Amino acid sequence: MPIKVVDQLPAVEALLAENVFVMTESRAAQQDIRPLKIAILNLMPNKIATEIQLLRLLANSPLQLDVELLRLDDHVSKNTSENHLNCFYHYFSAVQHKNYDGLIITGAPLGLVDYEEVTYWQQFADILDWADSHVTSTLFLCWSAHAALYQYYDLQRDIRGEKLSGVYWQQVKQPLSPLVRGFDDAFLVPHSRYAQVAEQKYQQHPDLHILAAANATGAYLLQNTSGSRVFVTGHPEYDVNSLDDEYQRDIAAGIDSVLPENYYPNDDATQPPLKLWQSHAFLLFSNWLNYYVYQATPFDLSQIGQPLASVNLASVNK
C-alpha cells in the first residue's frame, strides 16, 4: 500500500520517477480504509531532500500511511522557501490537539551547539512531552536522537575530537527485537555527527536497550522497552550522495573536513560512491511501522495514551 501525501508536494514527482508508489489525497479520498497517521517534524535545512528520503522509506510498506509534515512555530528556515513551507507544512501549534500513530523527528546541523542554547529547544522539549501522550511510537534520527536521550534520560553527549563521517558496519546486539527482525548480523549505515554517548551511560537506564552498535560509532539503534521511543544515531535515510554533498560543502566553506570513511571507492573522492545501506534502511522503517506503530496503535486514535498491548523487547525475550 502507498503513502498518502498532498497532491502538489514536489517529492511526489521525484518518487514516482523511482517507481515508488505514492497516493495523492485526491485518489485516497475514494478509498474506505483507516490509514496510519504519520507526522514528520523536519528539522533538516534542505527539507525537500529530506522529504524525499523519508517518504521513499515509508512507502516501502504494505500499510497505507497518511503523512503530515510539521514545522516549529518560531523557527525561520534559511534553506527552504517560505512558500513551500506554507503550502505543505503545518505549524506544531496547529496540530498539537491531534493524535498520531507515529512520529519521525529528523536530525539537525546542531552537533556543536549546547542543547539548552538551541533557539527552539523549549518547543522541541514540549513536543517530546506531547508525543508521550499523543503518539504511539516516535522515531528519532541523529541529532534528535541524542537530544531526546538528553531530555528523557539526562544523558549528556560527548563531543568527538573530529567529526564521525562515513559508512560503518553495525552489529546486531538484540536479534530477538522486532525492530531488527530480518537484519543481517552486520549491516552498513551512514553516520555524520560530532556527538557520542558512552555505552556505560545507557546501561544506567534499564528502560533503554541497545539493539545495534559498533566500536567506531558507539550505539546506533536503541529503543525503550515498550517501543514507544526509538533512537537512531545515524542516517539510514541518506541518499547515495548525501555524505559527498556535506563533504564538498564543508570544503567550500573552509572547514577542516575529514574524508568520509568507507564511502568513496578506494577513498578516492573523485569516484562516485555506492549506496550499500538501502536494504536495511527499508527494513528498519518497515519493522518500526509494523511492530511498533501498526501492531501497537488503537484503531480509534483518541485512545492513544491509554495502556495498550504492544510488541515490546521484554515480551520477545521471554
Catalytic residues: 142, 235, 237
Helices (H) and strands (E) counted in the chain, each on its own, are 11, 12
The whole-angstrom separation of Cα 215 and Cα 15 is 35
Query: Both ends of the chain: CA-CA distance in Å?
Result: 33
Residue 163 assigned as binding residue: yes
Rounded Cα–Cα distance for residues 205 and 60 (Å): 33
Q: Whose grid coordinates read 511498533? A: 292
Query: Is position 249 annotated in a ligand binding site?
Result: yes
Distance CA 190, CA 208 (A): 23
Residues whose CB is less than 8 angstroms from the CB of residue 61 and which lie 6 or more positions away in sequence, other chains included: 1, 3, 285, 286, 289, 290
- Annotated binding-site ranges for substrate: 163, 192, 249
- Annotated binding-site ranges: 163, 192, 249
